[in-house]
Amino acid sequence: MVVVVFMVKVRIDEMSWVEVREALDNGFDTVIVPVGSIEQHGPHLPLGTDTFVGEALSVMIAEKLGKTLVTPPITPGCSQHHMGFPGTLTLKPETLMQVVRDVCKCLIKHGFKNIILLPTHGGNFAPIETLIMELAMEHKDVKIISPLKLEELIKVMNDVMAEYGVTFKEAGVHAGAAETSAILYIKKDLVKMDKAVEGFMGEYTISQLYSYGIRAISSTGVLGDPRRASADAGRRMMEKLAEYYVEKIKKELKV
Ligand SMILES: [Zn+2]
Alpha helices, H only, the chain = 17-25, 49-65, 93-110, 125-138, 150-163, 168-171, 177-186, 206-212, 231-253
Question: Domains in the chain, start-ordered, CATH in brackets?
Answer: 12-248 (3.40.50.10310)
**Ligand 1 geometric centre to CA of 247 (Å):** 23
Which residues are within 5 Å of ligand 1 (an ion), measured at CB? Answer: 49-50
Span from the CA of 236 to the centroid of ligand 1 (angstroms):
18
> For residues 142, 111, 96 and 17, what is the CA-based torsion angle, rounded to 10 degrees?
160
From the list 8, 18, 51, the residue with the least C-alpha distance to 33 is: 51
Strand pairing partners for 69?
31
- Cα of 196 vs centre of ligand 1, distance in Å, is 15
pLDDT in tens, 65-107: 999 999 999 999 999 999 999 999 999 999 999 999 999 999 9
pTM of the model: 0.94
β-partners of residue 30 are: 68, 114
Residue 190 and residue 79: Cα distance in Å, rounded? 21
Residue 206 pLDDT level (bands cut at 50, 70, 90): confident
pLDDT confidence of 7, banded at 50, 70, 90? very low
Longest dimension (CA), the chain: 53
Using only C-alpha atoms, what is the Rg of the chain?
18
Q: Give pLDDT tens digits for 28-44.
A: 999 999 999 999 999 99
CA–centroid distance, residue 106 to ligand 1 (Å)? 28
pLDDT tens-digit series, residues 102-154: 999 999 999 999 999 999 999 999 999 999 999 999 999 999 999 999 999 99
pLDDT at 94: 98
